[in-house]
Amino acid sequence: MRGRCRTAGGRRTKAWRGRPARAVRRGAATLALGLSIAGVPGQAMALPALPAAAAAPGSYGFAEAATGIEGARSTADAEPLAPGRSYRSSLPSSARVSYRLDLDATTNAYVSVTAVPPPGSSVSVVDGLKVSVQDAEGNSCSVDTTTFGAARSPHPLAAWGMREISPGKSLCREAGAYYVSVERADPKGEGSSPDTWQLELLAVTEPRTAKAGATGAPQAWDSATPEPLRGDAEQRDGGAGFAGATPLDQGVWREELRPGQTVFYAVPVDWGQQLSVTADLGGSGSGGTGYASDALEVTLYNPARGHVARLGVGYDGDRKSGSLPPLPPVDHANRNSPLAQTGALRFAGSYYLVAHLSESVADSFGDGPFPMTLRVKVSGTAQAGPDYAGTSDPAGLFDVSEEDREAADGVPGGDDTALRLVAVSGIGTGSALLVGLGVWTLLARRRSAAPR
């Protein structure tokens, strides 16, 4: 199959909990045909349109099921975040806002915060997002900061905080209230606008392991720069946010980006597997001159939306390429590493690739679109994961199921099968309507499911 490759283990790797919008739209069309066969005219079944997989430059696809929440200026007034749910909030430029986590004494908890500056706003090199977690006594559990970098192009970016129970840490182990603080990295920096940013928050939990694990990170792994995949690229449009990330398996994929646009993909990486990514930005063909620093930025996030690594590709109008740094295999013991990049590769699941084309590209080379190619390689045979003494919230967040692999590969799964059954069955008109509406509603909800 063009643009597809298999791993050393002999099977393709593919993952994502949810189906791309175009698959849902195909299902809706099949449903209308099925209702017509069952005795209900297809045009009598008016289904509301679902959002497209990708959005216009500068926009972000928030999780449709997200709950509105207001960040408090004081921890005493902080509202709770429930694990497994997405929230929408906002961040004024000069404020710090807080939220609360109520945790037990055995579970690891992670909170990802995605900041969305308004399109056209100005940001500085060192401005960005800072997320920290403290216990009820004010002890620091974690701090993470991510910035816009040299491109100075406003786009969605995420940082994460954690309450991690570890043998090597004496703090942040007690049951009780923990506080997540969110602020700008450099709110008064030169070149940054005072605009309010929109926020998307997701809290997740990871159970402890049944037995004590390793206390150090694995030392032996192939750190050589992998050879990028070759072959013809297959078109795969990116999603507009984490919740609507388009699934990708191993292969060579193409998308056309416009300046200011950000797209999201989800790639399955199982326990023991290594992910490598090379990004190409094609020639402009416009004859423009100039240079855009970090014109194409590709950032890798783990299944909890924690930052792993990034690459920046400078651009002068000719084809340019860049790769993520070599990454170790996914391993539960990676969390013991002193390196943040290695520590973030602590779970199996869907890893997010977020690609952004800088607004500055338009100044010298026009509005595009510009062809981007992602060469995604997953090497190594999947291994058994840790023996968790419980389940994550949301369930299945840190594993790769067969359903995930089918979704990433674009193979019709149970959703399309259900629609075909409606199409060919001989059920009555009323039953067809009820079943059809139920199936469509299920698909729409799965499409907007926040965690995946």
Higher-confidence position of 174 and 217? 174
- Number of domains forming the structure of the chain: 1
Q: At what angle do helices 429-447 and 21-37 cross, to 10 degrees?
A: 180
Q: Per-residue confidence at 90, pLDDT binned at 50, 70, 90?
A: very high
> From CA 370, how far away is CA 260, in angstroms rounded?
11
Q: At what angle do helices 414-424 and 429-447 cross, to 10 degrees?
A: 160
> From CA 279, how far away is CA 320, in angstroms rounded?
8
In a domain? residue 25: no
Q: What is the pLDDT of residue 262?
A: 96
In a domain? residue 329: yes
pLDDT beyond 80 at 351: yes
In a domain? residue 165: yes
In a domain? residue 201: yes
In a domain? residue 41: no
Contact 330, 268 (CB under 8 A): no
Q: Per-residue confidence at 229, pLDDT binned at 50, 70, 90?
A: confident
Least confident of 35-49, 265-279, 294-308: 35-49
> From CA 167, how far away is CA 175, in angstroms rounded?
16
The H-or-E segment that residue 430 falls in is helix 429-447
> From CA 258, how far away is CA 299, in angstroms rounded?
17
Nearest residue to 294 via CA among 321, 318, 312: 312
In a domain? residue 237: yes
In a domain? residue 448: no
| Partners of 252 in beta bridges | 375
> From CA 338, how far away is CA 269, in angstroms rounded?
22
- Which residues form the domain of 192? 67-383+390-408
In a domain? residue 415: no
Q: How large is the average pLDDT for residues 164-191?
A: 87
The H-or-E segment that residue 30 falls in is helix 21-37
Q: How large is the average pLDDT for residues 233-255?
A: 94
Residue type at position 395:
A
